[in-house]
């Protein structure tokens, strides 16, 4: 007798994280808010493949990420970012970048993960910025431009 399961095991899933930080499976939005929050907290990177995964204390599986795995939902006057996993962390201005669609991105989670600014957070960030003759500045630092689709890539 064998202990093999009656079906092939795979870590591949049809779970997708869209550019707004919403999880989908098999074309259906995952409707339960608790499941959305849990998945947002479980995002990690598989060290062997470099692909995004959902990882908890029990298991892990691959997922598809349309853009950045985290979304900046807000930024306060002190530069604290409210992220899509309900965590709060300081903005690292050195990681800011703006893509060809004028969407700001930064790195979060100790520089390990990119985050896309949601509309309201982008407006709040850019309200603090100034436009100079050669680009957009936050304080004395020029925010680099990146090609469309590059802002959400891990660096």
List beta partners, residue 82.
74, 88
**Domain co-membership, 47 together with 79:** no
pLDDT tens string 80-114: 999 999 999 999 999 999 999 999 999 999 999 99
Say whether both 75 and 46 belong to one domain.
no
Within a domain: 151: no
Which residue intervals of 3-155 are DSSP H helices?
A: 33-41, 119-128
Give the confidence band of 8 by pLDDT, cuts at 50, 70, 90.
low
* Residue 11: C-alpha distances to residues 48, 53, 61 (Å): 13, 9, 5
- Domain assignment of residue 9, yes or no: no
Residue 112 lies in a domain: yes
* Residue 58 belongs to a domain: yes
Shared domain for 76 and 126, answered yes or no, is yes
Structure token digits, residue 150: 């590059």
- Supply the range of the domain harboring residue 99: 70-146
pLDDT tens digits, 111-146 = 999 999 999 999 999 999 999 989 999 999 999 999
Q: Please check whether residues 98 and 55 belong to one and the same domain.
A: no
User: Which range is least confidently modeled, 29-33, 51-55, 93-97?
Assistant: 29-33
Beta-bridge partner residues of 75? 81
Tally of domains within the chain: 2
| Percent of the chain surpassing pLDDT 90 | 85
Of all residues in the chain, the percent with pLDDT exceeding 70 is 94
What predicted TM-score, i.e. pTM, was given to this entire model?
0.90
pLDDT value of residue 9: 60
């Amino acid at each position: 007798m064998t202990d093999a399961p009656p079906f092939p095991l795979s870590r591949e899933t049809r779970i997708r994280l869209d550019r707004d930080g919403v999880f989908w499976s098999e074309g259906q939005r995952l409707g339960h808010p608790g499941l959305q929050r849990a998945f947002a907290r479980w995002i990690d990177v598989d060290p062997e493949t470099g692909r995004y995964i959902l990882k908890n204390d029990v298991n892990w599986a691959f997922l598809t990420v349309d853009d950045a795995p985290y979304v900046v939902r807000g930024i306060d006057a002190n530069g604290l970012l409210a992220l899509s996993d309900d965590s709060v962390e300081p903005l690292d201005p050195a990681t800011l970048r703006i893509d060809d669609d004028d969407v700001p991105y930064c790195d979060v989670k100790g520089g390990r993960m990119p985050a896309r600014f949601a509309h309201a957070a982008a407006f709040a960030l850019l309200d603090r910025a100034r436009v100079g003759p050669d680009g957009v500045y936050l304080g004395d630092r020029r925010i680099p431009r990146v090609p469309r689709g590059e802002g959400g890539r891990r660096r």
